[in-house]
Structure 1
Amino acid sequence: MHVFDDDAVADLLALDDLLGVVERAFLKQGRGEVERPDRPHFPVGEGLDGRDEPAGTGLAMPAYVHGDPAYATKLASVFPGNAAPEVDRPTVQAQVLLTDASDGEPLALFAGERITNARTGCIGGLAARELGAGTGPVDLAVVGAGQQARWQTRAIEAARGVERARIYSPTPDSRAACTADLRHEGIPAEAVDSAEAAVRDADVVVTATTSETPVFPGDALADGALVVAVGAYEASMRELDRTTFERADRVFADVPEEVAAVGDIVDNDVASARLLPLSAVFEGDAGRESADEVIVVESVGSAVLDTATANYLWREASEEGGVEIAF
């Protein structure tokens, strides 16, 4: 088996290629040509060092795309406290194990943070390409300033182009650091002092937080705005307010049955029947119908994207790639 650390994954991964990989994965998922068992997620850390509440969440995410040579199992964790300056660790950490689908041989173990961040970023990139109003580079607002904020911006730049990115986080140092990183990569980004200032007049709005309360006022959205919410993945999390959904002409979801259970949907009394599968957009069965429509895309993430990305990375790697180990 070969082990790929983050540097090795970075050498293999190109967003321009991954956008197509993720689009194909959505098409296969929408057609039912995948195996995607329920993903358990559970609180961890309670009782450790005297804690009376969980420190984070553990997740297990297996999946297989029909016809691919291998399947993958991702083990992930989400620890919001890691974003604190005194901790300075990734909020999301993960490992992806790739296994031969023909004989069960373990093929590769990948550091998973970049895989998770990049494939989730591609959701925003594809949404901006297919559902954003107009053509050409977008005026982008990003609420959140962690790694996912950076990857969403990178993927939208790769898919559509970014004319301007306004970054807001309640932590000034975080939004300044995110802005500096993006500008270093050639993306015109600026830090702003409020979520409303970021969102107003934006073509595309991305929320990439672990918030439990809405992160911007829906009445600040411009007509024709596309909102891509990627942070909320369970019932306690909520990034969008009721006004946003009242203004939305349509709501797309990467995994409708799972999105129906997150706080954005439950707390805002959004009927599950409103959740259209994002895969329908790539089939050409749904899309933007007018420049003035407000469209929301909700994402909780799908292990199908992880296994598709891991298969892509394995194809890109030579047999000598990574570090080979024997079990």
Structure 2
Amino acid sequence: MNDLKFILTSDVKESFKLNIGQGSKIRVLREADLRKLLDVPTAIEIIERTYKEYGLNESHTLSNPPALYGGKGGLNDARYKVKGATLFNENVTGIRLISDLPVGLGFESYHLLLVYDDKSAAPLGLLDETWLHRFRTALTGVVACKYLAKSNSKIVALLGAGEIAKQLFPALEANFNFQEIRVVARRYENAKRFCKIIGERITAEMKALENAKVAVKDADIIITLTLADKPVVGPGLLSSGSFLCSMGETEEVEFEVLSEIDRFIVDEFEYATSLGDISQWIKSGSTTRDKVKKKVNGHIGQIIGGLIPGRQNDTERIFAIIQGMAICDLALANYALRKASEEGVGEIISIFNRV
């Protein structure tokens, strides 16, 4: 794919306009449609391009605040979240509507994404974003590893074996020559099941472990994707040259780890203060917003945009909090909608039957 902005023929442009640009008709894309429209290499290229433009500060604006939360607030109650973004270069705005219900050790999740045309304010598409969100989240982690992990990384410690973790492979292995993938889940049986499934996709040895400390020891890349009720990575565990990528919504990394690393990277600081490690560090009184912000060396967009360096040597310990940004969801969704228009994928529905 040479041009990810998707150059449409005049006939397709007219069809795109008639089908989903007049406000009365919207294209609906479900999971099966999105899996057909998006492949890993194209998605990674879109994410890198979007992050680069974000780093150069020329592409977007996020909703203000970056996220809104709703629900009763109880431990077992449904949780709701709204995130939005605008991509200037593509003249689209997206609103993500997310609901999660705690079920057992995980969540029953429903993710919707509405995409709007900024020139007309008309809705263009409605996407079932549940799978796309997992796909995008995993690939943003892959991109972070590409720029911040050692190129000769051999051992991966994966803490968390849920649906997002499954989307890491084989994409992550494509950038490295791994020897071993160590997997830890809340239940050992889940880690073994994950290894069996993913082991059929990749060449590295898959190893299910019960102890996070054992998994992290001497690992080159550590990825945390958990719903842990307490941190899974503490001080004294990171080896020289390791890359730690925290991607969950809870406190996965103890605050004291910050004093042991050489560089600290985020994707979007404001959002990180509302959910995940930084949020919990601030709530617990371990630090303040201003103090932790001073420790941040930059964001992933600045690295991909070439404004600050990525990994500079094989001994740096780098810690990144990569939780995903709505601009990446929107860029992938807009690409999928345009390709769907060309290929006739999805369902066209009428909502606004105005007189």
TM-score range, shorter chain: 0.7 to 0.9
Q: Larger deviation: 138-147 or 36-45? A: 36-45
**Count of aligned residue pairs for this structure pair:** 312
In structure 1, what is the equivalent of residue 66 of structure 2?
39
In structure 2, what is the equivalent of residue 240 of structure 1?
253
Q: Distance in 1 between matches of 2:209 and 2:330?
A: 37
Task: Note the 1:95-114 alignment, pairs <5 A.
Answer: 95-114=112-131
Q: Which secondary structure state, in structure 2, belongs to the residue aligned with residue 271 of structure 1?
A: helix
Q: Larger deviation: 181-190 or 66-75? A: 181-190
Q: Distance in 2 between matches of 1:191 and 1:23?
A: 31
Q: Does 1:203 align with 2:220?
A: yes
CA drift of 1:322 comes to: 0.8
In structure 1, what is the equivalent of residue 346 of structure 2?
322
Q: Does 1:115 align with 2:132?
A: yes
Q: Distance in 2 between matches of 1:2 and 1:187?
A: 39
Q: Does 1:303 align with 2:326?
A: yes
1:77 maps to amino acid: S
Write out per-residue CA displacement over residues 166-220 of structure 1, whole angstroms, 9 at most, x where no aligned residue: 1101212321222222113235322112111221111110000122321133322
Q: Larger deviation: 197-206 or 186-195? A: 186-195
In structure 2, what is the equivalent of residue 167 of structure 1?
183
Q: TM-score, normalised by structure 1?
A: 0.87
2:97 maps to amino acid: L
Note closer, same or farther for the CA distance 1:319–1:98 as it changes in structure 2 (3 Å cut): farther
Note closer, same or farther for the CA distance 1:279–1:298 as it changes in structure 2 (3 Å cut): same
Q: Distance in 2 between matches of 1:147 and 1:294?
A: 28
2:230 aligned residue (203, 213, 227): 213
CA drift of 1:73 comes to: 1.3
Note closer, same or farther for the CA distance 1:129–1:102 as it changes in structure 2 (3 Å cut): same
Write out per-residue CA displacement over residues 130-171 of structure 1, whole angstroms, 9 at most, x where no aligned residue: 111133x64211101111222234432244454321110121
Note closer, same or farther for the CA distance 1:53–1:247 as it changes in structure 2 (3 Å cut): closer
Q: Does 1:7 align with 2:24?
A: no
Note closer, same or farther for the CA distance 1:325–1:121 as it changes in structure 2 (3 Å cut): same
Q: Does 1:62 align with 2:84?
A: yes
Note closer, same or farther for the CA distance 1:160–1:111 as it changes in structure 2 (3 Å cut): farther
CA drift of 1:293 comes to: 0.9
- Decide which structure has the larger Cα Rg and report it: 2
Contact 2:248 2:276 in 1 (8 A): no
Q: Distance in 1 between matches of 2:177 and 2:125?
A: 33
Percent of paired sites with the same residue? 22
1:271 aligned residue (273, 281, 292): 292
In structure 2, what is the equivalent of residue 181 of structure 1?
197
Q: TM-score, normalised by structure 2?
A: 0.81
2:127 maps to amino acid: F
Contact 2:100 2:110 in 1 (8 A): yes
Note closer, same or farther for the CA distance 1:210–1:69 as it changes in structure 2 (3 Å cut): same
Q: Distance in 2 between matches of 1:56 and 1:158?
A: 37
In structure 2, what is the equivalent of residue 193 of structure 1?
210
CA drift of 1:263 comes to: 5.2
1:144 aligned residue (151, 160, 163): 160
RMSD, aligned CA: 2.2
Contact 2:221 2:244 in 1 (8 A): yes
Q: Which stretches in structure 1 are left out of the alignment for 5+ residues?
A: 47-51, 85-89
CA drift of 1:106 comes to: 2.2
1:174 maps to amino acid: N
CA drift of 1:262 comes to: 4.3
Q: Distance in 1 between matches of 2:176 and 2:28?
A: 33
